[in-house]
A = this chain, B = another copy of it.
Amino acid sequence: MRIAIDAMGGDHAPDVVVAGALEAAREWSDTKVILIGDASRIEPLIAQAGAKPANLEIRHAAEIIEADDEPVKAVRRKKDASMVVAGRMVHEQEADAMISAGNTGALMTTGLLVVGRIKGIERPALAPMIPSIDGKGMLALDLGANMDATAEQLLQYAIMGSIYRKKVHGIEKPSVGLLNVGTEAMKGNELTKAAFPLLEQAPIHFIGNVESRDVLRGPCDVLVCDGFAGNIMLKSVEGAASVIFSAMKTEFMRNLATKLAALVLKPGLTRFRHSFDYSEHGAAPLLGINGLLLKSHGSSDAKAIKNAVRQARIAVQNDLVKSISTEISNGREL
């Protein structure tokens, strides 16, 4: 198996990406890990870390797509950017998967323009795991690839998300919920009302509408939404958590008694807070692309990069992309 890693993407690139790639190469000797990027920066990092594993390769790429680059323009113009080169390797089947912690929009553009869609997929979807209080998390899609969606596209998200949960997470019959403002069947806007009957009839385990109020309780394995509503939901939750935790901190610092009390409570609260940390929930697949692309969090550390390699391995071993492609062309029972 060959996994291409964009060495130049992410807040701490190339250092942590190289470190993560090294760890992955050492852990899985059956996997060729290909680091793509500026060789003059990657090589010294590897030399520092000791002997280069035999299954680690470097592929030089002179350009870098920056975090604030305009995605379409960057992918079109920077043909020798590490991300674009990695995408091309997937397209040309020189790599079985690619991982990047770089510019999300550019990665989606790389998926669309360099790798290409699965036949029959209208819109690829970005599908991160979002945390839930039960610790299991949900795969939510679309979270960012497309702001607007049609009912048919939501249906495709549901199918792709179900396959991913089954193939990569081993969930036999993943439950699918539709993000909505209430649980009753006819709740919502034109889009959710049109999507509901399609999801009911689809070869998936549709459990109905999921109210945004209940999302954190983990009511389903796959949460389907358009990119706009999903982002509103996720950022509202993040914002609320951030406001509450900072208000809590203020309360803790009020006086000596509260400071001492806080000391007692801190370990438990910190543990709880970490369960809200999105960066600990793995890389997000870009589903619907005719090849495996994983988006690691921009702030990924070496462990997160290594974990993305683990995810990629499982997805490749279980023929994720081919399964989606077959399902979309067949409408076969999941």
Contact B251 A258 (CB under 8 A): no
Q: Which of A87-95, A110-118, A229-237 sits within the interface?
A: A229-237
A8 to chain B, nearest CB (A): 24
Determine whether A72 belongs to the interface, using a CB cutoff of 8 Å to chain B: no
Residues in B neighbouring A244, C-beta threshold 8 A: 240-241, 244-245, 272
Residues in B neighbouring A248, C-beta threshold 8 A: 248, 269, 272
Determine whether A148 belongs to the interface, using a CB cutoff of 8 Å to chain B: yes
Residues in B neighbouring A185, C-beta threshold 8 A: none
A177 to chain B, nearest CB (A): 14
Contact B258 A181 (CB under 8 A): no
Q: Which of A214-222, A286-294, A302-310, A320-328 sits within the interface?
A: A214-222
Determine whether A49 belongs to the interface, using a CB cutoff of 8 Å to chain B: no
Contact A148 B190 (CB under 8 A): yes
Contact A216 B243 (CB under 8 A): yes
Nearest neighbor of A231 in chain B, beta-carbon distance: B181
Bound-complex Cα distance A237 to B252 (A):
22
Contact B254 A268 (CB under 8 A): yes
Choice from B217, B239, B260 contacting A212 with Cβ under 8 Å: B239
Contacts A133-B243, A181-B147, A189-B147: A265 and B252 contacting too (C-beta < 8 A)? yes
Contact B235 A181 (CB under 8 A): yes
A231 to chain B, nearest CB (A): 4
Residues in B neighbouring A251, C-beta threshold 8 A: 265, 268-269, 272
Bound-complex Cα distance A30 to B320 (A):
73
Determine whether A63 belongs to the interface, using a CB cutoff of 8 Å to chain B: no
Chain A interface helix/strand/loop/mixed? helix
Contact B247 A235 (CB under 8 A): no
A137 to chain B, nearest CB (A): 14
Residues in B neighbouring A260, C-beta threshold 8 A: 261, 264
Determine whether A23 belongs to the interface, using a CB cutoff of 8 Å to chain B: no
Contact with B along A188-213 (1 / 0, CB 8 A): 11101000000000000000000111
Residues in B neighbouring A301, C-beta threshold 8 A: none
**Most chain B C-beta atoms within 10 Å of own C-beta, residue among A237, A247, A257, A264:** A264
Choice from B229, B232, B261 contacting A265 with Cβ under 8 Å: B261
Closest 8 CB pairs of A and B: A261-B261, A236-B236, A213-B239, A240-B240, A251-B268, A181-B231, A261-B264, A147-B189
Chain A residues within CB distance 8 Å of chain B: 133, 147-148, 179, 181, 188-190, 192, 211-217, 226-229, 231-245, 247-248, 251-252, 254, 257-258, 260-265, 268-269, 272
In the assembled complex, 16 residue pairs joining A and B whose CB atoms fall closer than 8 Å, in A order, are A148-B190, A181-B228, A181-B235, A189-B228, A212-B236, A214-B239, A217-B239, A232-B232, A232-B233, A232-B236, A233-B236, A251-B269, A257-B264, A258-B264, A260-B261, A261-B263
